[in-house]
Amino acid sequence: APEPSNAFLRRIVAEARRTLESPRPYIPEFASSSRLAQLNRERDAEIERRLRPQLPSSLPPEDEQIVRQSLSNRGFLAKAAREQVSAQDLSRLRPSQWLNDEIINFYGALISERAAKFEVESAEKNNTPAVNGHSKEQGKSRSTSDDGNPWKVHIFNTFFMSKLQELGYDKARLNKWTKKIDIFGKDLVLIPCNLGNSHWTCAAINFRQKRIEYYDSMGTDRPSIRQALRTYLEKEHMDKKSSPFDFDGWVDYFGEDGPQQENGYDCGVFVCQTMENLSRGVSLPFDFTQKNMSYLRRRMILEITNEKLPLQRP
């Protein structure tokens, strides 16, 4: 076969050079599945934020007057269940103050009383009479379509977690804490946690979603707390039901996307508002952030003065 001419070779080289120097065709970039999932979460959170009503920046004038009167009343005393708040306790809700056990336990009692009242009223409306403040339907699951209304909730006080972790179920006699309560008939159990008298966080046993949950406004997960609650469920179920607890389908959950505080003293308010949101079936993102703290402190004073919580957010 004849050898290619120099002209032919030059033409081939020129065509190759033009190909190399021409713009590259567009190749679309596809985001990874993890990046797409993150973008979807951010989009959903933004939609949720826009759809949910925003909290007001201040109380109505007549409510603000009640708050000022309560704060100036040296003989102030509010009671809910076995909890009470004095004038000195109430002052912890002034700006930049760290909340104490009395405020958090009292707020938990208000949440519990609201849930019990709603449960009784719902039972009467549905012609399912309640027994000892609890509907006979309490063992049945409720749909998630009633988000915003109070769930069936039990709240342990601020001493529960330290007793569980330091002494254990048996030595702390935690079975006595639920002699008249069946936590397994609840939708949710809430546990405010005092971490070394320096920080408040919130744990939850979510029976509806089969999750052991933990929320920290400083963004730190503590798996040991969830493990302690798993041990508690095992012991409590054996004590009350005489059988092992079925953990099939249960997962651990850390609310890493929960609202975060920007100072060292608002953690107690974050915990109270986290419990308030969870007790109405509100999932993340919650309806408050750091910017709402001033308003929420004033509103908590109003709610404690009234000794009750509204059925829905004002």
222-241: average pLDDT:
98
* Alpha-carbon distance values, 59 to 95, 242, 266, 268, 309 (Å): 15, 50, 19, 20, 15
The whole-number pLDDT of residue 50 equals 59
236 phi and psi angles, rounded to 5 deg: -65, -40
pLDDT digits (tens, 9 = 90+) for 251-263: 999 999 999 999 9
Peptide bond into 53 cis (omega under 30): no
The whole-number pLDDT of residue 25 equals 60
pLDDT digits (tens, 9 = 90+) for 256-313: 999 999 999 999 999 999 999 999 999 998 999 999 999 999 999 999 999 999 987 7
pLDDT digits (tens, 9 = 90+) for 144-196: 445 589 999 999 999 999 999 999 999 999 999 999 999 999 999 999 999 99
The DSSP code sequence of 280-297 is TTPPSSPS--GGGHHHHH
Q: How far apart are the first and last CA of the chain?
A: 93
Specify burial of residue 82 (Cβ count, 10 A radius: 0-12, 13-18, 19+). exposed
Give per-residue burial for 115-152: e unless 16+ CB within 10 Å, then b: bbebbeebbeeeeeebeeebbebbeeeeeeeeeeebbb
Determine whether 199 is an active site residue: yes
Determine whether 237 is an active site residue: no
Which residue among the candidates 187, 199, 266, 287 is catalytic per the annotation?
A: 199
Type of residue at 41:
R
Which of 185, 249, 262, 183 minimizes the C-alpha distance to 218?
A: 262
Which residue among the candidates 89, 193, 202, 216 is catalytic per the annotation?
A: 216
Determine whether 202 is an active site residue: no
Which residue among the candidates 193, 202, 267, 272 is catalytic per the annotation?
A: 267
Q: Which residue has the higher pLDDT, 314 or 246?
A: 246
Locus of tokens 């049945």? 140
Instruction: Tell whether the model's pLDDT for residue 135 goes beyond 50.
Output: no
Four-residue CA torsion sign, 101, 107, 111, 112: positive
